[in-house]
Structure 1
Amino acid sequence: MKIPNKLFTKNTILIFIICILILVSGGYLTYKKLSDSNTSTIENTTTDNDNSNDSNTSISNDDANNSLSNNSEQEKKLPEKNINLVNENIGVPVLYYHSVQQTEDNEVTISPQKLRNELRYIKDSGYTTITMRELQDHLLNNSPIPEKSIVITFDDGYMNNYTNAFPILKDLGMKATIFCITFKLDGQYYLSEHAIKEMSNYGIDIESHTAGHPDLTTMTYEEQLSEFKESKETLEAITGKPVITVAYPYGNYNADSMKAAKDAGFSLGFTTKLGLADRDDNPFSLDRIYINSNYTMDTFKNLLSNTKK
């Protein structure tokens, strides 16, 4: 039987179209699979690289931490200055200065540069500055102190002790004591409460030079006791620390002064008599070494070396 050409043509075209669709669908599915595979590979590679970077960063940080740790350990292992402690009654030099400013218009006013030169000489000569508490423990409780101990003091409590002397003491890493008059803590001529507090917090001893700087020998016992107590209470309220020593104004004192100082709660009292502070002294009449701003460096050196107890 003869097949009609029209039917053959329609079936052939339909089959051809179906085959084309199958081929196109298959190609698309194959392309999508390959594309997804490549994307996954790229993401994995990126993740691996990121992990590698994180690992390297971690190693770098660990190295840095180890380096800091090693540096810290090296600093801890740096040799410390060997200081010999002694407990013999050899006497301690207690120097006393006053005002520190550029214009040396009188013998109690020393320039900052001259003060620095003298303190530098002390430091370079192997002296160790000690606190009033350390001196007290040595004199009264037989506690050992560095072999070449010295005490640096400033009388009156001028504001320039804060502006000019304090930076030098910090720079040289030295301890010191300021004997303060307390009747006018104005921050101009005399120290301010803020300056006292800051220096005390740093480690500078703030001690008493009475309230109004009177001649104690002209006063009764009760008047001297009141003078001492007022000064002591004022300074302790500012610093929050015990005030344990007093320097007598002008170096003038008597038996009532020593009794009043003890009764006011002080442990030590300082005069202006030349000598070293030692255990043979009455603790309320300790010697000191006056530093005149007119002294040459040679005079200063000789005074420091040759003063005896």
Structure 2
Amino acid sequence: MNSRSQKGKLIIIITLLSILLVSTFAFFKFKNDTKSNNSSETSSKEESVSIDSDTENDYSKDSNRFEGIKLTSEDVGVPVLYYHSVLPDSEVTTPNEVTISPEKLKQELEIVKNLGYTTITLSELNDYLNNKIEIPEKSIVITFDDGYTDNYIHAFPILKELGMKATVFMISSQINSGYYMSAEQLKEMSDYGIDIESHTDTHAYLDTLSYDEQLKEMTESKRKLEEVLGKDVTSIAYPFGNYNKDTVKASEAAGYTLGFTTNKGLDKRTSNKLELDRIYVSSTYSLDTFKERLLNTK
């Protein structure tokens, strides 16, 4: 009887120990799994924070472009200079007023910089004119018409050296034609931060064309440039400065928000955004004349 009782007690003890061991094992396994899951979640959160931080850093670079510069949202008027070809004098077979030497271009852009001007993009100009977004108090836009290869070879390095923004109005039918920039050159400049915009498809005298013909010039140019650049083209400069009421209507219908003429003046909020003024720069101007035209244009 005692023997049976002892055996029964032993069985109970063994059973209890087994239950205790299983429970202990289950407890520690659950704890480790929970710790592992928490670690994984923490890692994911840290990764998410890192991505968000990178995004913020990219955004802050753009938002701090004008850091330390006095800004304004007042309608002060913005000068828009326009150039054409940039070639060394030794390469110019027939001297002309639309071909400036790299040396003189650099001198003029240094004057712009020394006068305290900040170059802005057409997107920034559009935001200022249409949305009252602040820009530097002394803002300026630099433009080059036609899209000659020499803009890439000679003007682009100067702009990079001086840290200046600029816009090239490109004749889209001339892309890859040799005398004008290639698709690769346009893309490189665009990726760097130089605006590439429309100068129509064939550089036609727009005021001699019907509305439909003008619209085709503008839509074809926009389409071709956007295919090359992979970004929206929203501004146009009218060839020879020639335009009429149909030009303005066609520009809007084609999806342009800014249109530039060759009329002399500053661009203000009261200006027709598809009839904006510019200031012509002739290679025959002395540096004093260049400075005077910049400072005294109203």
TM-score class, shorter: 0.7 to 0.9
Alignment of 1:66-77 (within 5 A): none
| Aligned residue in 1 for 2:52 | none
> Which whole-Å deviations, capped at 9, do the CAs of 1:91-150 have from their partners, x for residues lacking one?
000000000001351000000000000001111211100000000010111111101000
Tell me the distance in 2 between the aligned counterparts of 1:112 and 1:192: 20
| Aligned residue in 2 for 1:171 | 161
Moved over 3 A (4+): none
Tell me the distance in 2 between the aligned counterparts of 1:90 and 1:287: 14
2:275 equivalent to 1:289? no
Superposition TM-score, scaled by structure 2 size: 0.76
| Structure 1 residue matching 2:180: 3-state secondary structure | coil
| Structure 2 residue matching 1:287: 3-state secondary structure | strand
The Cα shift of 1:282 comes to 0.6
Alignment of 1:82-161 (within 5 A): 82-103=68-89, 105-161=95-151
| Aligned residue in 2 for 1:199 | 189
1:162 counterpart (152, 168, 172): 152
| Aligned residue in 2 for 1:268 | 258
- Greater C-alpha Rg: 1
| Structure 1 residue matching 2:173: 3-state secondary structure | coil
Gaps of at least 5 residues in structure 2 are: 1-65
Report if aligned partners of 1:98, 1:155 keep a CA contact under 8 Å in 2.
yes
Opposite residue 74 of structure 2, the aligned amino acid is E
> Which whole-Å deviations, capped at 9, do the CAs of 1:186-210 have from their partners, x for residues lacking one?
2521110010000000000000000
2:178 equivalent to 1:188? yes
2:212 equivalent to 1:222? yes
| Aligned residue in 2 for 1:8 | none
Superposition TM-score, scaled by structure 1 size: 0.73
Tell me the distance in 1 between the aligned counterparts of 2:124 and 2:262: 21
Tell me the distance in 1 between the aligned counterparts of 2:126 and 2:232: 13
Report if aligned partners of 1:187, 1:193 keep a CA contact under 8 Å in 2.
no
Tell me the distance in 1 between the aligned counterparts of 2:130 and 2:214: 24
The Cα shift of 1:81 comes to 6.0
Tell me the distance in 2 between the aligned counterparts of 1:163 and 1:215: 28
The Cα shift of 1:249 comes to 0.3
Tell me the distance in 2 between the aligned counterparts of 1:289 and 1:100: 17
| Structure 2 residue matching 1:284: 3-state secondary structure | coil
Tell me the distance in 1 between the aligned counterparts of 2:141 and 2:258: 13
The Cα shift of 1:241 comes to 1.0
Question: RMSD of the TM alignment (CA)?
Answer: 1.1
Tell me the distance in 2 between the aligned counterparts of 1:85 and 1:121: 21
| Structure 2 residue matching 1:183: 3-state secondary structure | helix
**Matched residue count:** 229
Tell me the distance in 2 between the aligned counterparts of 1:165 and 1:188: 17
Tell me the distance in 1 between the aligned counterparts of 2:174 and 2:246: 25
Report if aligned partners of 1:236, 1:243 keep a CA contact under 8 Å in 2.
yes
Tell me the distance in 2 between the aligned counterparts of 1:270 and 1:125: 24
Tell me the distance in 1 between the aligned counterparts of 2:252 and 2:165: 25
2:226 equivalent to 1:256? no
| Structure 1 residue matching 2:187: 3-state secondary structure | helix
Classify 1:94/1:303 alpha carbon distance in 2 versus 1 (closer, same or farther; 3 Å): same
Report if aligned partners of 1:159, 1:187 keep a CA contact under 8 Å in 2.
no
Alignment of 1:23-62 (within 5 A): none
| Aligned residue in 1 for 2:21 | none
| Structure 2 residue matching 1:138: 3-state secondary structure | helix
| Aligned residue in 2 for 1:280 | 270
2:224 equivalent to 1:238? no
Identity %: 59
> Which whole-Å deviations, capped at 9, do the CAs of 1:158-204 have from their partners, x for residues lacking one?
00000000000000000000000011212521110010000000000
| Aligned residue in 1 for 2:26 | none
Opposite residue 228 of structure 1, the aligned amino acid is M
